[in-house]
């Protein structure tokens, strides 16, 4: 189903430079950033079956969770508007109520009702009791967890792997993705691909358990390698070195990354390539998961 008229399959492009040639690997980028102008990247993949289920169930409203710069809130607000679903966003941080930022402003413009909660309350976002209470409070909306990460999200992400296989003619040796909740990594693994997941958060070791829990009903998932050293200080933190890397990447390949997820992933991946992590002949597909609405124009 052509939910919101996406550009599918998204392009698969080969990247080449002297580091890649020296390592004798083949590197491709899966351009999921081009999938849709507002519901971009992995958020489109993850929302697809959740929103189809909401529509099929005749739901009137969708409720979800996110931080102040959340690509997921942004995508959900836009998709809900396009599909005629009301949207409710529970936002982490009471202090943000008075603050204007472009992401939340966009969400409001799409008609999303924003409810700001304390960090303590936000921490309960996956607890059953809390969700029951919230659901009653907001008139039993269709609930989607933070980041859109559900079992249905895995199914949507797995379709992206199917595209890659078709475009490449083989399953790549590795697929690389940035990780926040780990839903995207889990989706790729569910399709049987081996994954290098680059944590965008500090202390990302918890992701391994979360990802394996998401995969519990899959018999033969791919193998996960979790890289936790490329967080640049933590979630939504960055430094000049990362911004310079983004600029160089754009100059070299004419592709824009952003500083929260995709630049950290590519920085880490190039670090591995330069340091001889991969055998000659290895094929790697790195996913551009989008998120360019959150780009800082440095
Ligand atoms: C949300 C997001 C991620 C993280 O995806 P998870 O499935 O939560 O791990 C990665 N890249 C971009 C651009 C995102 O917006």
Q: Concatenated DSSP letters for 63-131? A: EEEE-TT-HHHHHHHHHHHHHT-EEEEEEE-GGGGG---HHHHHHHHTTPEEEEE-HHHHTTTT-HHHH
Q: Is the CB of 182 under 6 A from ligand 1?
A: yes
- Classify domain 41-148 by CATH architecture: 3-Layer(aba) Sandwich (3.40)
Mean predicted confidence (pLDDT) in 50-68? 96
pLDDT of 209-220, one tens digit each?
999 999 999 999
In the reported structure, the alpha carbon of residue 289 is separated from the centroid of ligand 1 by a whole-number distance in angstroms of 6
pTM for this predicted structure:
0.96
Mean predicted confidence (pLDDT) in 38-55? 96
Compute the distance between CA of residue 47 and CA of residue 197 in angstroms, rounded to an integer: 20
Percent of the chain residues past pLDDT 70, beyond the cut: 99
Model pLDDT, residue 297: 60
Compute the distance between CA of residue 67 and CA of residue 72 in angstroms, rounded to an integer: 9
In the reported structure, the alpha carbon of residue 2 is separated from the centroid of ligand 1 by a whole-number distance in angstroms of 22
Q: Is the CB of 179 under 6 A from ligand 1?
A: yes
Q: Is the CB of 71 under 6 A from ligand 1?
A: yes
Q: Strand order in 283-287's β-sheet?
A: 12-15, 26-30, 283-287, 174-179, 195-199, 224-227
Alpha carbon nearest to ligand 1 atom 14, residue: 291
pLDDT of 109-130, one tens digit each?
999 999 999 999 999 999 999 9
Ligand 1 atom with minimal separation from the 177 CA: 10
Q: Is the CB of 180 under 6 A from ligand 1?
A: yes
In the reported structure, the alpha carbon of residue 164 is separated from the centroid of ligand 1 by a whole-number distance in angstroms of 18
- How many of the other CB atoms lie within 10 Å of CB of 63? 23
In the reported structure, the alpha carbon of residue 229 is separated from the centroid of ligand 1 by a whole-number distance in angstroms of 17
Residue 55: alpha-carbon gap to chain centroid: 22
pLDDT of 150-192, one tens digit each?
999 999 999 999 999 999 999 999 999 999 999 999 999 999 9
Q: What are phi and psi of 227, to 5 degrees?
A: -105, 120
* Least confident span in 34-38, 187-191, 193-197: 34-38
Ligand 1 atom with minimal separation from the 157 CA: 7
The per-residue b/e assignment along 109-146, b for 16 or more CB within 10 angstroms, e otherwise, is: ebebebebbeeeebeebeeeeebeebeeebeebbbbbb
Q: Is the CB of 291 under 6 A from ligand 1?
A: yes
Q: For residue 103, is pLDDT > 70?
A: yes
Residues of the chain with CATH 3.40.50.1100: 2-37+150-294, 41-148
Q: For residue 1, is pLDDT > 60?
A: no
Ligand 1 atom with minimal separation from the 184 CA: 7
What is the CATH code of the structural domain delimited by 2-37+150-294? 3.40.50.1100
């Amino acid at each position: 189903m052509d939910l919101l008229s996406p550009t599918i399959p998204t392009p698969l492009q080969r990247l080449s430079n002297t580091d890649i040639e020296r390592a004798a690997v083949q590197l491709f980028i899966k351009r999921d950033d081009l999938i849709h102008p507002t519901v971009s990247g992995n958020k489109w993949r993850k929302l697809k079956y959740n929103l189809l289920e909401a529509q099929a169930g005749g739901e009137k409203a969708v409720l979800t969770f996110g931080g102040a710069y959340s690509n997921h809130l942004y995508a959900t607000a836009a998709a809900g508007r396009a599909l005629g679903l009301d949207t409710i966003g529970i936002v982490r941080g009471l202090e943000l109520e008075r603050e204007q930022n472009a992401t939340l402003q966009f969400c409001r413009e799409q008609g999303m009702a924003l409810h700001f909660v304390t960090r303590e309350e936000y921490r309960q976002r996956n607890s059953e009791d809390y969700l029951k209470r919230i659901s009653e409070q907001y008139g039993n909306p269709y609930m989607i967890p933070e980041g859109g990460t559900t079992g249905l999200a895995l199914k949507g992400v797995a379709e992206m792997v199917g595209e890659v296989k078709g475009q490449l003619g083989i399953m790549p040796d590795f697929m690389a993705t940035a990780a926040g909740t780990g839903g995207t990594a889990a989706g790729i693994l569910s399709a049987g691909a081996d994954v290098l997941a680059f944590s965008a958060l500090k202390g990302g070791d918890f992701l391994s358990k979360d990802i394996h829990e998401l995969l519990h009903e899959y018999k033969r998932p791919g193998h996960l390698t979790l890289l936790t050293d490329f967080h640049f200080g933590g979630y939504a933190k960055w430094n000049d070195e990362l911004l310079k890397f983004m600029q160089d990447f754009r100059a070299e390949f004419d592709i824009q990354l952003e500083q929260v997820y995709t630049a950290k992933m590519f920085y880490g991946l190039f670090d591995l390539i330069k340091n001889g992590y991969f055998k000659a002949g290895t094929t790697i597909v790195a996913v551009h998961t989008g998120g360019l609405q959150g780009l800082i124009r440095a």
